[in-house]
Amino acid sequence: MAALLRKGDAGRDAATARAWRYRRDLAPVLAAIAVEAGGTPEGIAASLTRRGVRKPRGGRVWTPPDVRRLLSRLAAETAS
């Protein structure tokens, strides 16, 4: 049986796909920065900000909670 589509599903699915691609493309950069910055969310956030890496919605300043969320989502995606 086909799943019923509701209004907004296509846009939500597209946003989810963009977010997944963003995390996938940023993963190698994060790995390199983690080695350089000692692996702490504070060090990674400072390095991402210093390098001018944009956040998913275009922000310029990374915070440790941003990095923790990103790393958590990457870990969940690679575990599944």
1-19 confidence digits (pLDDT tens): 456 778 878 889 999 999 9
Q: What is the pLDDT of residues 44-62, one digit of tens each?
A: 999 999 999 999 889 999 9
Spatial contact of 19 and 31, defined as CB atoms under 8 Å apart: no
| Cβ contacts of 37 within 8 Å, gap of 6 or more | 43, 44, 46, 47
Using only C-alpha atoms, what is the Rg of the chain? 15
Amino acid occupying residue 76: A
